[in-house]
Chains A and B, each alone.
Chain A
Amino acid sequence: MNGLPEANINYDGPMAALVEFQSLTYEIAGRAVLRGIDLRIEENETVVLLGRSGSGKTTLLKMVNRLLEPSSGAVLFSGKSVTASDPITLRRGIGYVIQEGGLFPHQSVAQNVGLVPWLQGWPEDRIAARVRELLEAVGLSAAVYAGRYPKQLSGGEKQRVGIARALAADPPLLLLDEPFAALDPITRFEMQQHFSRLRKAYGKTALFVTHDIREALLLGTRIALLHEGRLDVVASPDDFLRTESVHARAFLATLNEWSPN
């Protein structure tokens, strides 16, 4: 398992968590989607929310930037309850990446990447400089790509633009909802490695939703396994490989066909 990031998180440290879920529950139409989630995410961590479809992982992610509101319990971002924050300001301070990047089809790559800086009223030359910097950082030549439209991009390129857009206003936290799920396996692997380097270079904390155990092991400093709305296991990749949880073992069993180099 070469190349896996080391888990070097001090759980007992006095440092304030960047994100904290406290006894969080979420119900919709009488159905409990999340049942009592407690989790602290420290700065510079990549916590991967792993789970099967319907386990509540995307729902949990959406609680952080108030796309959904908790039924009970609380979500803290930088020590402050998100439900006490103005949602617009909150969201502009949190990067968000979804499948295919969720790019605006009627706007150029440069406009897409510069969206949040534009919303925050940056001067145009500063937006343009930031857009160039980020396109180069995600491996796209600004001269070639700035003027293109999303429909002229490949899946991998769209995803790179999506990540550049999320980083544009330099938010401390990135939320990623299965960003690489639609990519072919090779592009996907490239993007995972690229994302990992980029996150470290920019010093970002990330909450990353996936149902892919390989992706979780590769990217997570910790893996939080959700099962039917509960946290089943929260562990570093190394500890996750050794866990006794049946739900975790079920995910790990899918790796048997795969032989690591």
Chain B
Amino acid sequence: MLLNEILALSAEHLWLVAVAVITAAAIAGPLAVLLTRHARPRRWTLAAVNVIQTIPSLALFGFLLPLPLIGGVGKRTAIVALVLYALLPILRNTVVGIMGIDPHVRQSAVAMGMTDSQILRSVELPLAMPMILAGLRIATVTTIGTATIAAAIGGGGLGTFVFRGIAMVDTKTILAGAVPAALMAITADEVLEWVERRFSV
């Protein structure tokens, strides 16, 4: 019975993480590409996303609770917070990956007569791919950890065990949440690192 609950909460946890990371990637990817083209918004956007990252996660969940539309107790609020945390690594790595390409390579791409979108698709994204994937990996692994706190605002997932265990002062119940979450993080790290290596130049 405990095993069934672990499996159910693990699935829920994984779902929270997947929705948050995919949403964050869908926002951060195109935003990062835009930012590589414009220096001034790049600085303040990265600064803003950096600030979000410094807010303690429990506090951020608390801040979001009273907000209309995105707030309230439940999964939606949890996902909004997780997306905000996952933005930074993806955004920063994509920007740094593209900006870090050898300027000679970009210059010769321009000089050969490639259009901006050809340069993006055929030069910048392939060359930045290992960095972008590293950003996705960091975002995924940290989101798996942060998602345990989502249970505090009714987000569900493996954090449910952790908070229940804390309330009952029962180590075994805490471990029932913490161990699967740790295994999930390690597995995600290994799998995504393998994908990253396959893309490295």
* Interface presence of B43 (CB below 8 A): no
- Kindly identify, within residues 102 to 138 of chain B, every residue whose CB is under 8 Å from any CB belonging to chain A: 102, 104-105, 107-115, 118, 123, 126-127
User: B118 to A119, Cβ gap below 8 A?
Assistant: yes
Among candidates A67, A104, A105, A106, residue contacting B111 with C-beta atoms closer than 8 Å? A67
In the complex, residue of chain A having the shortest beta-carbon distance to the beta carbon of B111: A96
- Kindly identify, within residues 105 to 127 of chain A, every residue whose CB is under 8 Å from any CB belonging to chain B: 105-106, 115-116, 119
Tell me the complex Cα distance, A93–B112, Å: 9
Among candidates B104, B112, B123, B127, residue contacting A99 with C-beta atoms closer than 8 Å? B104
Given known pairs A99-B104, A102-B105, A106-B201, the reply for A67 and B123 (CB within 8 Å) is no
User: B113 to A88, Cβ gap below 8 A?
Assistant: yes
Range of interface residues on A (Cβ < 8 Å): 20 to 34
Among candidates A89, A105, A119, residue contacting B112 with C-beta atoms closer than 8 Å? A119
* Interface presence of A100 (CB below 8 A): yes
Chain B residues with a Cβ closer than 8 Å to the other chain, count = 17
* Interface presence of A159 (CB below 8 A): no
Interface of A is mostly: helix
User: A98 to B113, Cβ gap below 8 A?
Assistant: no
User: B113 to A92, Cβ gap below 8 A?
Assistant: yes
Among candidates B108, B109, B112, residue contacting A92 with C-beta atoms closer than 8 Å? B112
User: A91 to B111, Cβ gap below 8 A?
Assistant: yes
User: A67 to B113, Cβ gap below 8 A?
Assistant: no
Tell me the complex Cα distance, A67–B105, Å: 14
Nearest-CB distance from A141 to chain B (Å)?
24
In the complex, residue of chain B having the shortest beta-carbon distance to the beta carbon of A101: B108
User: B107 to A102, Cβ gap below 8 A?
Assistant: yes
User: B110 to A105, Cβ gap below 8 A?
Assistant: no
Tell me the complex Cα distance, A94–B113, Å: 9
Nearest-CB distance from A86 to chain B (Å)?
10
Please name all residues of chain A whose beta carbon is closer than 8 Å to the beta carbon of B108 when the two chains form the complex.
Answer: 96, 98, 101-104
* Interface presence of A137 (CB below 8 A): no
List, sorted by A's number, 20 A–B pairs whose CB atoms are closer than 8 Å: A67-B111, A87-B113, A88-B114, A88-B115, A89-B113, A91-B112, A91-B113, A93-B113, A94-B111, A98-B107, A99-B104, A100-B104, A101-B108, A103-B108, A104-B105, A104-B109, A105-B102, A119-B118, A165-B112, A175-B111
Q: Name 5 extra pairs, CB < 8 A, besides A67-B107, A106-B127, A165-B112.
A: A98-B104, A105-B102, A116-B113, A119-B114, A119-B118
Residues of A near any B CB (own CB < 8 A): 65, 67, 87-94, 96, 98-106, 115-116, 119, 165, 175
